[in-house]
Structure 1
């Protein structure tokens, strides 16, 4: 209660909602613009793990014991949020697990959620593990919220960032015998000076689809700061194609005014990288259209050569993105299925085209015809990039996943009908029936019946067998067109309803995925296609010939030369807008125009831009007591409530008269 009362004043309540302030000029900033905390060396190029001493292994098993002892029955998220359940189960767990000096508690809770969901996959008829996984997510969100409440301002933002994006290992500080017997081998493990095998709480929340946790205000505060580049850190990855781990930056704030003009680290900021990726894809789309407009089956055009080279670099960038955090995280991206589809189409086109070049017959194979089917994939991808928060596109991605799974299952199940009809066709041909169709025609008939377009297959089935042919076709039509399509429509409707039901959580979840994937550690991402291919061919051999420091210098010099215009634009923009936009300060009229003056509702927005004066704050605090004793007492009796209201009315009248005197004095 003492902790809660410390936030009872209006000033503290307002500080929890205010935006993070800009770094002060007198704070220590290193050569890369990172604000260093007290005790950190400015010239230290590799920061050791500050959380290496936390007992992560013990905390994980402690959390599991507490969760198992707290819940034995299946509950939903709404039931666990009930006030009674919150008092009996959730709040005691938060009080037990919250430790201001241990930032790994949230990670341990989410790790247990992953384990409970895994156990549930082996126990179909018992849903208690789902309830336990939900409880882990709920408690993790409450613990993170308590960190957020107890640590306002920029120091609190750094603490929340350490909780969510600092790396932890499940076996951290475990006994040696446990490490020898149970630790799984990972291949390959690249040396990172003590940061190997680390996972972040944000990544664990993404792979466990903890959408309620990711949509919390505390989590989104960190996600927005990382996305905009106000909080910077060195990301952790599974494997890098072109590793450069000479420097490891700690989690810190970024001051663009004291950073170098060409700061190559800004290329891994998610906001900047998302804009760069959109521009790269637009270039790819333009080259694709020019290739198809000027296509020539007999020879290579200049547009096709440019398209092949540039797309090869784009595919390398996509492959590195998959290796960065793994397939599971990458597929959570909104447009990942479109990228994978295009890569498959491009691979088939490239193989056929190169085979024709090798045999001297480019017109054979019709490779450009294969490439033409990429148009339905590339054009919608632009819409996914420009509108990542659109619920229609988010729902479309979820429904495409269900549609693909059910379609593959249907094809698998109905292959037996195709085999039976083909064998009947062979028998009919052997009996001398010249009207018997071939198996390709039978496939077409079955496809038309599946979608309910044409019933020719049922009419002509007598050509296969007078009894068995119609029986198989009618059975296929009943199972496919009636049952499977009905199930498909029901599944898609249910998926759409679930997505729309919690639209805010879905949008915040996609933002978290986009932000987490946007922070890249691999040096290959700093090179634009097709220069990344050149960097791979030149710099990767140098990695084995030069020292870590020399290779880092060569790599940084090449990145700054190739990306000088982009880095210059980023630096100019961030020096003016990085912190001002977050603080909602009005821009200078000489550079930006404020259009709120043309709206009759502009004052509603403007009244919240500036903090009220201290005299107004003190007066409001005297009127409304925001202490937890007044807000959380739900069992106050009626006479006491009436007396409280009467006392409050008298106090309002007294303060109203004093306010008139105060305002009259100011007017005078």
Structure 2
């Protein structure tokens, strides 16, 4: 990336491509560039032309960010924000504009009752492609962050695209638009899918799940454990919600979530617990069975998950999520080699002693595991009982490979991953926030029903959708959603209207007599920078930095600064106008003096 941002490369390659690709009337250019980046990254896995494809992918990301910045500069204000949102979250069909004779893939199988034949399941958004391709430079740009913040706060509202819905209700599909609380209804069920509200709601759902889990474990020795029954029912509803989230945007997007691997771990533990609990019930051994001990090991997963939810922007948790992939792959390879040494030792003792002395798999595995972690060397001492020469050789080779080499490689890989994250901390945090924002906007109606009511909604409303019209189903669905979520909707409406009221009071200059936040000796320092300077002061500031004295290549070194300020283009135009008037006045004065001298 730094190579393409060099001034010479910027002037010779990047800027001409941006000028050629940028079209104010075509908002699909950013999507096309990111789609090409995804394609180049997939081709990068091949050994042939690997570096070339990697360079092309980086160039596509840089061009996409520059083109988006041009849209950002040319369209300030609320309408510009709306245009950026159309560029990032409006869906595009990859085959859109292709000739009719081109072969297209067959339609994907749809969920019963979806009734969506518009082909929206084919469409993909530019923001989704940026997340899948991990375009962190593009997402961390000022233009992209402006749109992401607006979607996250609910300023931009829209009906997202989805791969498949469990409980589809697309009778009224909302276009991308600006949200106005003054014209919104009091019980606006669409505010349940605003990412900021959705993250808080999901946190409350998980806290309820954690409370039920703790109460289940506390009362696990009682005769009738109603807490366990409530925990199982609620967990099934919570898992249904997570399954719908994975299916809606795909695993590639959901896996970018910080706590995705924790959810999968908890789902696996609960599945094993539930199967063993049914087995205990059939054998009439509920108090001394196998299910509850399995459920005990979910405690570290659930408490860690709460910490991830409370601190999603913490660098440590972001690093843990990034390092889990490397750690899992390397541990799998080490375990595979571990199994090879275990088989070799078992077959070696059988061949050497003719079956007179055998060691169990458990004993040999324990010796090797202790050597792997550097805890005990008993396995090396006992290795002569396998074979006088080959036994110690295998054990010592395993100690070198498993303990010394494996740990060295593991520490080096994790350190490299952590250093990369720390070097670009801001981009990592903004990327994770974009993932939460994109995944927080839900299309499926199943998310509007809190667990375990989503199970009842799926059992009742899905058959109802098959026998009624789309309008009747929409009316029934909205009525049930507003009834079940009435306290939440009233609270959201109150908070949004109060925030709007506070903003209007600040704009009108009305302040209450007592404000705790005003009790600070530094308020005047903050207020002076928020006030708008007079016009003559702005003109003096502009004259201190004339545009004509700035070289072209030096101006190219500051694209980020111009992109961060939406008024940069307006200021540059004013400076050009001032430079033009100044040169005209100087020319006129020189012409007048020359004519006087000639006379």
TM-score calculated relative to the size of structure 1: 0.79
For 1:196, what is the secondary structure of its paired residue?
helix
Counterpart residue number, 1:80: 4
Counterpart residue number, 1:528: 450
Change (3 A) 1:592 1:456: farther
Change (3 A) 1:583 1:341: farther
Counterpart residue number, 2:429: 507
Counterpart residue number, 1:39: none
Counterpart residue number, 2:32: 108
Greater alpha carbon shift after TM alignment, 350-359 vs 250-259:
350-359
Mapped partners of 2:508, 2:201: distance in 1: 28
Counterpart residue number, 2:413: 491
User: Do the aligned partners of 2:195 and 2:441 also contact (CA within 8 Å) in 1?
Assistant: yes
For 2:178, what is the secondary structure of its paired residue?
strand
Question: How far 1:401 moved relative to its partner?
Answer: 1.6
Counterpart residue number, 1:357: 281
Counterpart residue number, 1:120: 44
Aligned pairs for 1:209-224 within 5 A: 209-224=134-149
* 2:382 counterpart (443, 457, 460): 460
RMSD: 2.4
Aligned pairs for 1:35-54 within 5 A: none
Change (3 A) 1:173 1:333: same
Larger helix fraction of residues: 2
Counterpart residue number, 1:148: 72
User: Do the aligned partners of 2:156 and 2:178 also contact (CA within 8 Å) in 1?
Assistant: yes
Change (3 A) 1:586 1:210: farther
Counterpart residue number, 1:565: 487
Change (3 A) 1:541 1:184: closer
Question: How far 1:398 moved relative to its partner?
Answer: 1.0
* 1:193 counterpart (99, 114, 118): 118
Mapped partners of 1:291, 1:154: distance in 2: 51
User: Do the aligned partners of 1:230 and 1:579 also contact (CA within 8 Å) in 2?
Assistant: no
Change (3 A) 1:368 1:483: same
* 2:524 counterpart (598, 603, 618): 603
User: Do the aligned partners of 1:113 and 1:137 also contact (CA within 8 Å) in 2?
Assistant: yes
Question: How far 1:106 moved relative to its partner?
Answer: 0.2
Counterpart residue number, 2:359: 437
Question: How far 1:302 moved relative to its partner?
Answer: 1.1
User: Do the aligned partners of 1:192 and 1:245 also contact (CA within 8 Å) in 2?
Assistant: no
Change (3 A) 1:459 1:232: same
Aligned pairs for 1:551-562 within 5 A: 551-562=473-484
* 1:256 counterpart (170, 181, 187): 181
For 1:607, what is the secondary structure of its paired residue?
helix
Instruction: Indicate yes or no: 2:219 matched with 1:281.
Output: no
Greater alpha carbon shift after TM alignment, 360-369 vs 569-578:
360-369
Change (3 A) 1:105 1:278: same
**Number of aligned residue pairs:** 554
Question: How far 1:359 moved relative to its partner?
Answer: 3.7
User: Do the aligned partners of 2:43 and 2:50 also contact (CA within 8 Å) in 1?
Assistant: no
Question: How far 1:353 moved relative to its partner?
Answer: 0.5
Counterpart residue number, 1:16: none
TM-score calculated relative to the size of structure 2: 0.88
Mapped partners of 1:545, 1:187: distance in 2: 20
Question: How far 1:396 moved relative to its partner?
Answer: 1.1
Mapped partners of 1:218, 1:579: distance in 2: 28
Counterpart residue number, 2:533: 612
Change (3 A) 1:127 1:585: farther
- Cα distance per residue 1:152-211 (max 9 Å; x no partner): 000100000000000001100211111xx2435533385153533110000000000000
For 2:384, what is the secondary structure of its paired residue?
helix
Mapped partners of 2:510, 2:15: distance in 1: 47
Counterpart residue number, 1:175: 99
Mapped partners of 2:10, 2:197: distance in 1: 41
User: Do the aligned partners of 2:212 and 2:227 also contact (CA within 8 Å) in 1?
Assistant: yes
User: Do the aligned partners of 1:445 and 1:456 also contact (CA within 8 Å) in 2?
Assistant: yes
Change (3 A) 1:337 1:96: same
Mapped partners of 1:575, 1:86: distance in 2: 47
Counterpart residue number, 2:19: 95
Question: How far 1:617 moved relative to its partner?
Answer: 2.6
Unaligned runs of 5+ in 2: 556-578, 583-599
Greater alpha carbon shift after TM alignment, 532-541 vs 260-269:
532-541
Question: How far 1:279 moved relative to its partner?
Answer: 0.8
For 2:2, what is the secondary structure of its paired residue?
helix
Change (3 A) 1:589 1:266: same
Mapped partners of 2:95, 2:505: distance in 1: 41
Change (3 A) 1:304 1:582: farther
Change (3 A) 1:634 1:364: closer
* 2:459 counterpart (517, 537, 557): 537
Mapped partners of 1:235, 1:367: distance in 2: 40
For 1:168, what is the secondary structure of its paired residue?
coil
Mapped partners of 2:118, 2:486: distance in 1: 30
Question: How far 1:453 moved relative to its partner?
Answer: 1.2
